Chains A and B, each alone.
Chain A
Amino acid sequence: MASSDVAQQLDNSARPLSLSGHVGFDSLPDQLVNKSTCQGFCFNILCIGETGIGKSTLMDTLFNTNFENCESSHFEPQVKLRAQTYDLQETNVRLRLTVVNTVGFGDQMNKHDSFQPVVGYIDRQYETYLQEELKIKRSLHNYHDSRLHACLYFISPSGHSLKSLDLVTMKKLDSKVNIIPVIAKADTISKSELHKFKIKIMSELVSNGVQIYQFPLDDETVAKVNTTMNGHLPFAVVGSTEEVLVGNKMVKARQYPWGVVQVENESHCDFVKLREMLICINMEDLREQTHTRHYELYRRCKLEEMGFKDTDPESKPVSLQETYEAKRTEFLQDLQRREEEMRQLFVQRVKEKESELKDAERELQGRFEQLKRLHAEERNVLEEKRRVLEEDQSSFNKRRAAAQLLQAQSLNVNGKKDKDRKNSGFM
């Protein structure tokens, strides 16, 4: 698949040429590798499995460190995911490893949507990457890639077949992430049972259409190994960080009264195979598959869901840009139309209110006038009355004055008579 791409690309109007001397561009892969080494690598693993199945122990064993995980309880109400990031270094290679564990998977009474948080988490990582990629000012080269590159699915060692929870979950995840199924706690299964178990699992996966990760066969240097390993899937693993003295050396192992299970002994379990495949040989391929297959699928679905298409009805290729612009102008036009409508509505209502107001005002004015008239009339009447009153008053005053005058005169006459009498009396 990849080789035909390359061949096609190189043959595209290019003619092969032979060099007559040493040019020196064979150092190009070295330059590339040096640059990547400076930048560092990142790798993200998702471990799905029931509580207590040995996910954290296996991670510790795989990467030869102690990731300081505490035991989770069995009473989680919902499945959660816990992500932890570590910086590891081996010789001159720096690796930023993120291990995401499910917490409480398979513990609930009702497991019908146990896979939801997992799917949600995976999609969220793709979404963040997509957002970063679509930004105008983006920094993809410094971006910490949090997309999950590998998913280890821990199958519990019943010896019979897959559980329905396993099938459902793997079916939901197979188009989103590279699934590598492993049989956990493989020291509880005997060799013959293991063989039958593996066959049963693989046939169940195939018959249910679950696409697990196949180790790539296109590179000749590793094709042979990968083919063999593909036949050993799922790997039966045992994890242990404790060391036990076997012979004259300390090995990672689990000690039982009846014997010692050595983790790195290929006849005891498939741990070494898992490590080879996951880390030593195919890590880069896992990252590439995540980016070119799963992420592209997510991106395509997401963009199509948002309404973008690559070809419009007249089957002319339409770019994302054009579609986006078309949608944007359409949206803006719609917005403008609605704004116009609202504005017209507003104007209309204002007009209505205004005419109402005008009517009210007119009415008020009318009443005011009327009141004024009434008032004026009353005032006139009052004026009239006052005038009459004043006339009365003045005539009364006159009469009183006249009466007083008369009285005064009469008094004078009487006073003179009295005086005369008085005067005459004395004489």
Chain B
Amino acid sequence: MHSEPKMELVWSEVNPSQSNMSAPQHQHPPGKVAPPGAGDFSYVGIDAILEQMRRKAMKRGFELNIMVVGQSGLGKSTLMNTLFKSNVSRKSVSSTPEERIPKTIEIKSISHDIEEKGVRMKLTVIDTPGFGDQINNENCWQPIMKFINDQYEQYLQEEINIDRKKRIPDSRVHCCIYFIPPTGHCLRPLDVEFMRHLSNVVNIVPVIAKADTLTLEERDSFKQTIREELRANGIDVYPQKEFDEDADDRMINEKIREMIPFAVVGSDQEYQVNGKRLLGRKTKWGTIEVENIAHCEFAYLRDLLIRTHMQNIKDITSSIHYEVYRVRRLNESNGQPNGQPPNGQANLQANPQDNPQANPQPQQANGLAAQHQVLTHEM
């Protein structure tokens, strides 16, 4: 009917010197048709796509889903409030002011719209009250794992719809902050179990909570012990070694990996220190400044989570963790144990049947058996 189009792949790397495409003399602000300057013929305008992309992203807004996990009383809500400089925790939202420790693990998620310098973000904080608080904490990680997988499932269902939404709402958990109590010794079995199970489905960022109870030496040795234990148990926390893309990435991430878990202190109260109002905790023996890196590592955590690696966290969630879940899920439902084609697609392929040539008749005298065989092949 029609012939195949000839695909000629000509990879001609055309760099600026060769192609007369020079750097623009001035940035073209969006919306203004800036006339090409006097000598500026060679500017094509490809780099304007960055600006277009930024515009579209700002218009769309961003989404971020953070889960906090840890025993009650470790300061999870306070830390969230400190990170986002507003009352994002569930305590500020819930109507019942009294504290109660729930009998089973609950999963509570609260969403907020926040905006900064024109960038809008829908932040969802997922709290897990009741984690680690029961007497028998076996399988305490299960409800959390189920929640995370449910979010993946929801996204998957939406994605394989025929009539799908323009933008699939992303409720997948991007990052899970795990609070380690500041015992100063080592990780508890509960910690190891949780992180071992969940580090394969979500990005875990472990932090040492209430770090103001540890001196600097205690803190360092504690961190070292934790890092060794994580390594010994094969737990890969964010930033994962295997997802480093190139040498630059690795360099940056190695620095971070040497510092985790971050020893943090949270506070939403401001105090006067040296003439400035700072967030901190005031005690009789001094004031701990939250954002002072000599005091605690909150600033590092904030920079990692928000200012530098937020997009990376989201990317790893969507392109690695979610894909792993998707592969597993689609394989399950295709689920015959023998010989499925590796690309189980929507075109239904016939499986090769088991042998219909099974000869059920008993053998007779030799000469006649040979005739049986011949007939079988004929058929």
A interface with B by C-beta (< 8 Å): 2-3, 5-6, 9-37, 41, 62-65, 68, 78-93, 95, 100, 113, 116-117, 120-121, 131, 134-138, 140-141, 219, 221-222, 224-225, 249, 251-252, 264, 272, 275-276, 279-285, 288, 292, 296, 299-300, 303-304, 306, 308-310, 319-321, 324-325, 327-328, 331-332, 335, 339, 342-343, 346-347, 349-350, 353-354, 357, 361
Contacts and interface: CB of A to CB of B under 8 A. Distances in A.
B54 A29 contact: yes
Contacts of B232: none
A325 B351 CA distance: 15
Interface residues of B, number: 116
Given A17-B88, A117-B2, A264 B162 contact: no
Contacts of B162: 299-300, 303-304, 308-310, 320
B118 interface: yes
B307 interface: yes
A2 B60 contact: yes
Contact of A20 (B59, B85, B312, B347): B85
A188 B84 CA distance: 63
Interface of B: 1-3, 5-16, 19-21, 23-24, 28, 30-33, 36, 38-39, 41-50, 52-62, 64, 83-88, 93, 111-122, 124, 157, 160-167, 169, 302-303, 306-312, 315, 319, 323, 326-327, 330-331, 333-334, 342-348, 350-351, 353, 356, 360-361, 368, 371, 375-376, 379
Contacts of B121: 25, 28
A63 B12 CA distance: 13
Contacts of A21: 85
B166 A292 contact: yes
A225 B31 contact: yes
8 interchain residue pairs of minimum CB distance: A81-B5, A31-B311, A14-B111, A284-B52, A280-B45, A117-B2, A320-B160, A221-B31
Contact of A350 (B2, B93, B167, B375): B375
A346 B36 contact: no
Contact of A80 (B5, B30, B48): B5
Contact of A9 (B84, B112, B169, B379): B169
B57 to A, nearest CB: 5
Contacts, number: 320
Contacts of B342: 136-137
25 contacts: A14-B112, A23-B84, A23-B116, A24-B116, A26-B118, A26-B119, A29-B58, A29-B119, A64-B20, A65-B14, A87-B11, A87-B14, A89-B21, A93-B50, A113-B1, A219-B59, A222-B30, A264-B36, A275-B44, A275-B45, A283-B52, A284-B53, A304-B162, A346-B379, A347-B360
A335 B16 CA distance: 61
Contacts of B55: 219, 221-222, 284
A308 B347 CA distance: 11
A186 B346 CA distance: 48
Nearest to B121: A25
Contacts of A79: 2
